[in-house]
Structure 1
Amino acid sequence: MIAGLLPDMAADLHTSIVATGQLVTVFALAYAFSSPVLTALTGAFHRRTLMIAALSAFAVANVLAWGAQNYWELMAARIVLATAAGLYVPGANALAGAIAGPDRRGTALAIVNGGITIAVAFGVPLGAVIGDRLGWRMTFAGVAALSAAASAGLLFGLPRSIGAGLPTATLRERIDTARRPVVLMTLLVTTLWATGAYTIYTYLALFIARTTQLHGAQIGYVLFTWGVAAAVGVFIGGKAVDRLGSRRVIIPCLTVSIFAFALMSASAHWLPASLALVPVLVGVVAWGIAHWCFYPAQQAGLIGIAGLRGTPIALSLNASFMYLGFSLGAALGSLTLSVASVSDLGWVAALCEVGALVLTVSIGRHVVKVRCASTACPA
Structure 2
Amino acid sequence: MKNASASRASFAPLYWMALGAFAIGTEGFMIAGILPAVARELSVSAAAAGQLVTIFALAYAISSPLLTAISSRHDRRKLLLCSMSAFALGNVLAALSHSYWMLVGARVILALAAGVYMPAAIALASAMVEPARRGHALAIVSAGTTVAIALGVPLGALVGNAYGWHATFASVASLASLATLGLMAGLGPQSGPTARVAGLQERFALVRRPVVLRALSMTTLWSSGTYAVYTYLASLLSSATMLQPIHFGIAFFLWGTAAAAGVFAGGLGTDRFGARTVIAVGLPVLTAALLALSTTGHFVAPRVALFPVLAIIVVWGASAWAIHPAQQARLIQVAGSEVAPVALSLNASFLYSGFALGASIGAFTLTHGGIGDLGWVGALCESAAFLLLLSSGDETRPASTVTQSQPGQVAHGLSD
Please name the residue that 1:226 is paired with.
255
Higher mean C-alpha deviation, range 265-274 or range 75-84:
265-274
Q: Is 1:367 aligned with 2:367?
A: no
| Aligned CA-pair RMSD | 1.7
> Following the alignment from structure 2 to structure 1, what is the Cα–Cα distance between the partners of residues 147 and 330?
20
Q: Is 1:258 aligned with 2:287?
A: yes
Q: Is 1:213 aligned with 2:249?
A: no
Q: Is 1:302 aligned with 2:326?
A: no
- Give me the TM-score of the superposition, normalised by structure 2: 0.86
Please name the residue that 2:404 is paired with.
none
Match of 1:21 among 50, 58, 62: 50
CA pair 282-219 structure 1, distance change in 2 beyond 3 A: same
Please name the residue that 2:138 is paired with.
109
> Following the alignment from structure 1 to structure 2, what is the Cα–Cα distance between the partners of residues 282 and 151?
38
Q: Is 1:162 aligned with 2:162?
A: no
> Following the alignment from structure 1 to structure 2, what is the Cα–Cα distance between the partners of residues 253 and 111?
26
* Deviation (angstroms), 1:293: 1.1
Runs of 4+ that moved beyond 4 A = none
Match of 1:125 among 139, 154, 158: 154
> Following the alignment from structure 1 to structure 2, what is the Cα–Cα distance between the partners of residues 222 and 98?
38
Contact map agreement 2:60 2:115 (CA 8 A) in 1: yes
Contact map agreement 2:263 2:324 (CA 8 A) in 1: yes
Q: Is 1:180 aligned with 2:209?
A: yes
> Following the alignment from structure 2 to structure 1, what is the Cα–Cα distance between the partners of residues 380 and 66?
31
Deviations 1:114-153 (A, max 9, x none): 4324424544322211111111001111101101111112
> Following the alignment from structure 2 to structure 1, what is the Cα–Cα distance between the partners of residues 210 and 268?
29
Contact map agreement 2:161 2:246 (CA 8 A) in 1: yes
Q: Which amino acid aligns with 1:367?
A: E
Deviations 1:239-291 (A, max 9, x none): 22222221121111111100000000111111111222222112100011111
Q: Is 1:55 aligned with 2:84?
A: yes
Please name the residue that 1:269 is paired with.
298
Q: Which amino acid aligns with 2:395?
A: V
Percent identity reads: 50
Higher mean C-alpha deviation, range 277-286 or range 119-128:
119-128
CA pair 259-276 structure 1, distance change in 2 beyond 3 A: same
Counterpart of 1:14 in 2: which secondary structure?
A: coil
Contact map agreement 2:76 2:124 (CA 8 A) in 1: yes
Q: Which amino acid aligns with 1:171?
A: L
Q: Which amino acid aligns with 2:64?
A: S
Match of 1:247 among 276, 282, 286: 276
Higher mean C-alpha deviation, range 95-104 or range 284-293:
95-104
Q: Which amino acid aligns with 1:281?
A: L
Contact map agreement 2:42 2:99 (CA 8 A) in 1: yes
Q: Which amino acid aligns with 1:132?
A: N
Please name the residue that 2:168 is paired with.
139
Deviations 1:292-331 (A, max 9, x none): 1111111111122222321111111111111110011011
Contact map agreement 1:199 1:348 (CA 8 A) in 2: yes
Contact map agreement 1:263 1:279 (CA 8 A) in 2: no
Q: Superposition pairs for residues 36-55 of structure 1, below 5 Å? A: 36-55=65-84
In the alignment of these two chains, the number of paired residues is 371
Deviations 1:38-68 (A, max 9, x none): 0001111011111111111101110111111
Q: Which amino acid aligns with 2:350?
A: F
Deviations 1:63-96 (A, max 9, x none): 1111112111110000000010011111111111
> Following the alignment from structure 2 to structure 1, what is the Cα–Cα distance between the partners of residues 112 and 379?
30
Contact map agreement 1:191 1:322 (CA 8 A) in 2: yes
- Give me the TM-score of the superposition, normalised by structure 1: 0.94
Q: Is 1:97 aligned with 2:160?
A: no
> Following the alignment from structure 2 to structure 1, what is the Cα–Cα distance between the partners of residues 138 and 326?
14
- Which segments of 5 or more consecutive residues in structure 2 lack a partner in the other structure? 1-29, 402-416
> Following the alignment from structure 1 to structure 2, what is the Cα–Cα distance between the partners of residues 184 and 114?
28
* Deviation (angstroms), 1:371: 5.5
Counterpart of 1:335 in 2: which secondary structure?
A: helix
Q: Which amino acid aligns with 2:97?
A: A
Counterpart of 2:193 in 1: which secondary structure?
A: coil
> Following the alignment from structure 1 to structure 2, what is the Cα–Cα distance between the partners of residues 303 and 40?
21
Counterpart of 1:241 in 2: which secondary structure?
A: helix
Q: Which amino acid aligns with 2:215?
A: T
Contact map agreement 1:114 1:234 (CA 8 A) in 2: no
Q: Which amino acid aligns with 2:374?
A: L
